[in-house]
Structure 1
């Protein structure tokens, strides 16, 4: 069986559409927010900056997962993630495994923090650069969750609306059950009384002029 070449046909079209969604404006805004959070006292040891602009540099900056882990630690104000230090690991397979574990820890902590599972990116979206726009979207959702959780540092994203739960007294609920909705029928408004029954031929009546 012939091997399907990656980058052709549907795969190529999907890749093109994903790339079109990537935003340099969002990249710069997210970079400024992340570095501002990490610079909050005490300043994080992982505080670095991308070496350039664009998808490649943005991915390289976040790829080992250390910055992401420190970001969620700062937002929660406690160490929920302890990232592996991978800079000195020589064995490529081991380094890859530890970096992906860092990303996985961040995603789990972000979900616990309030980001919905459906809004999280997958590890390969970042590590293999298959869907960086989804990475950007998740980080915005994380910023929204931070505001909802009362984080007082630098913020980004739209604040998540708080749930307004209303409790009605039992007697009010019983009164509501006694009301008949219009969907049940009523004789208090216009009716079809006097109209020609369905299917009956039209009757023409002429008045006697005499």
Structure 2
């Protein structure tokens, strides 16, 4: 856990400050409020880093969250406070989030939450999961995702489009290369 490590110094401390500067208390608060709504758990929804970490660090609430979105997606939720059991909960949440449609680039690594390395990436993952919840009939957070809008054209319409030369193809009007004498001798 966090308390087992020596404090960072030098470049590592500067890098950690940059990571922590990206953390948004507003988005964290919105995420915790959404989790409380979905799970019906009485949790503190303050958006500061300390509260966010304390509420989510053991992974049980995250597993309850995904089980409320899609029942049974996490088979076993560990209630033990042992480090590896908590990390198993976090990992089970991450696997479930990927199954629910969260892109891999919007997930986090287990140590980002367990060791409090990058809480901003945890917020990003929960926000992404919150956008996907609408597909499962649950309240969502953030902007609603766009629906697929596939268009089908007839063969006649496609053939008509092939006869049109758009401006993307270029034009023979306007600027040209006359007057360019690269490599030529200068004429006096």
Matched, 1:64 2:58: yes
Note closer, same or farther for the CA distance 1:56–1:174 as it changes in structure 2 (3 Å cut): same
Gaps of 5+ in 1: 40-46, 90-94, 204-210
**C-alpha distance 123-191 of structure 1, shift in aligned 2 (>3 A):** closer
Partner of 1:22: 23
| In structure 2, distance between residues paired with 1:115 and 1:56 | 25
Distance in structure 2 (CA, Å) of the matches to 1:196 and 1:54: 66
What SS class does the counterpart of residue 99 from structure 1 fall into? helix
Q: Secondary structure at the match of 1:125?
A: helix
Q: CA, structure 1 residues 99+177, in 2 after alignment: closer, same or farther (shift >3 Å)? A: same
Flag the 1:136–1:196 CA change in 2: closer, same or farther, 3 A.
closer
- CA–CA distance in structure 2, aligned partners of residues 56 and 139 of structure 1: 17
Shift >6 Å, 4+ stretches? 200-203
**Match of residue 85 from structure 2:** 98
- The alpha-carbon distance between structure 1 residues 164 and 7, as it changes in their structure 2 partners (threshold 3 A), is same
Larger Rg: 1
CA pair 18-197 structure 1, distance change in 2 beyond 3 A: closer
SS at match of 2:143: coil
CA 1:176–1:98 in structure 2 vs 1: closer, same or farther (change >3 Å)? same
Q: CA deviation at 1:33?
A: 1.4
Is 1:198 the equivalent of 2:180?
A: yes
- 1:49-95 deviation digits (Å, cap 9, x = unpaired): 2497632332122112111111011122x2101343333x6xxxxx2
Aligned length: 180
Deviation, structure 1 residue 31: 1.8
* 1:170 positional shift: 2.2
Q: Given that residues 113 and 119 in structure 2 are in contact (C-alpha distance below 8 angstroms), is that contact kept between their aligned partners in structure 1?
A: yes
Question: Structure 2: 5+ residue runs without aligned partners?
Answer: 1-5
Determine whether 1:156 maps to 2:156.
Answer: no
If asked which structure has higher relative contact order (CA below 8 Å, sep 6+), I would say: 2
Partners in 2 of 1:135 and 1:114 — Cα distance? 16
- How many angstroms apart in 2 are the aligned matches of 1:115 and 1:51? 23
